Structure 1
Amino acid sequence: MAVKGIGQVDKKYDGSNLRIGILHARWNKKIIDSLVSGAIQKLIELGVKESNIIIESVPGSFELPFGSKLFFEKQQKKQQPLDAIIPIGVLIKGSTMHFEYICESTTQQLMKLNFDLNIPVIFGVLTCLTEEQAEARAGLIEGKMHNHGEDWGAAAVEMATKFGV
């Protein structure tokens, strides 16, 4: 596989046999909805059947790590295992240290889940200084940035097909 540039791989991955879970926070609904839509769009583009994209929600980004673990276990009990999970959240800095604590703990625990669950857990949490930055990264401000949800969908398919366990 020839690498074209940073972040661009010369291969299209086939997600037709994958079951992908998306677990999203409910805070910052407009931004979250756009990110989830971007992830779904990319998953479908890469062959994941719409019926194999399972979506659940949790109150906020802090709940994503534990929610992802429970989501994974729920699907296992139903004998419908997931091949990857995309936890999606948005954290926007305020005037207190709350942002730093939530960012750090959420990031660490989501990373740990990759090893605990033995499936790819894609880091789909925007950590932004302003709401405008978050909207740009969700593709809501034309010409500013693209929808990062699409990147997360692509990463889930690549990781699950390349290293599926």
Structure 2
Amino acid sequence: MAGFGEPGATPVEASGMTVGVVAARWHAELTDHMVERAVAAAAACGARATVARVAGSVELPVVAQALARRCDVVVALGVVVRGATAHFDYVCRSVTDGLTRIALDEGKPVAHGVLTVDTIEQARDRAGLPDSAEDKGWASTIAALDAALAVRQVATSANQRVGFGA
């Protein structure tokens, strides 16, 4: 965690939007709380949340894609803790590449709220618990909704000419 530069996670006006939240069941004591915070953030923005659970982080992208086909935004939540093998690297790459591809293929924001950490203590510090420094469930949801609003703004202004030929 960098600990600096975060833009803040103030609710945005997203009434009528839908948020698909998909979360891994690994490290449930943390992911359950992250889901609660994501749903609370959606409600604070006036959006409606749908929640789906999967076994682990590798399974997040396929369900995220299904949610992206019926929701305005998707928030993927999980916890991957580095171990003694290369498995951490494979899981993190798979999840990141999958979520990025879904966002681009579906043209919808997909927030990467998967905590990729060296220790469980680092995960606890980012999971939005009362003593946590960060709240990734909340922040990821706000970021996704903010991006969806930006996409809508670009789409509605697409008929306006911009640039040198305007």
TM-score (norm. length: structure 1) = 0.82
Gaps of 5+ in 1: 74-80
Q: Which residue of 1 aligns with 2:62?
A: 66
Does 2:30 match 1:36?
Answer: no
Gaps of 5+ in 2: 156-166
Shift of 1:72: 3.4
Q: Give me the identity figure in percent.
A: 31
What count of residue pairs does the alignment treat as equivalent? 149
Does 2:85 match 1:96?
Answer: yes
For 2:11 and 2:128, how far apart are their aligned partners in 1? Answer: 23
Shift of 1:139: 2.5
Q: Which range is displaced more, 62-71 or 81-90? A: 62-71
Does 2:147 match 1:159?
Answer: yes
Q: Which residue of 2 aligns with 1:145?
A: 133
Q: Any conservation in 1 of the 2:11–2:44 contact (CA below 8 Å)?
A: no
| One-letter amino acid of the counterpart of residue 146, structure 1 | E
Shift of 1:112: 1.1
Q: Any conservation in 1 of the 2:79–2:116 contact (CA below 8 Å)?
A: yes
For 1:14 and 1:35, how far apart are their aligned partners in 2? Answer: 21
Shift of 1:14: 0.8
Computing the radius of gyration from Cα coordinates, the structure with the larger value is 2
TM-score (norm. length: structure 2) = 0.82
Which whole-Å deviations, capped at 9, do the CAs of 1:51-93 have from their partners, x for residues lacking one? x2111111110011112123334xxxxxxx3100001111011
Q: Any conservation in 1 of the 2:81–2:119 contact (CA below 8 Å)?
A: yes
For 1:163 and 1:120, how far apart are their aligned partners in 2? Answer: 9
Deviation >2 Å, runs of 4+: 5-9, 70-73
Shift of 1:141: 6.1
Q: Any conservation in 2 of the 1:18–1:160 contact (CA below 8 Å)?
A: no
For 2:5 and 2:58, how far apart are their aligned partners in 1? Answer: 30
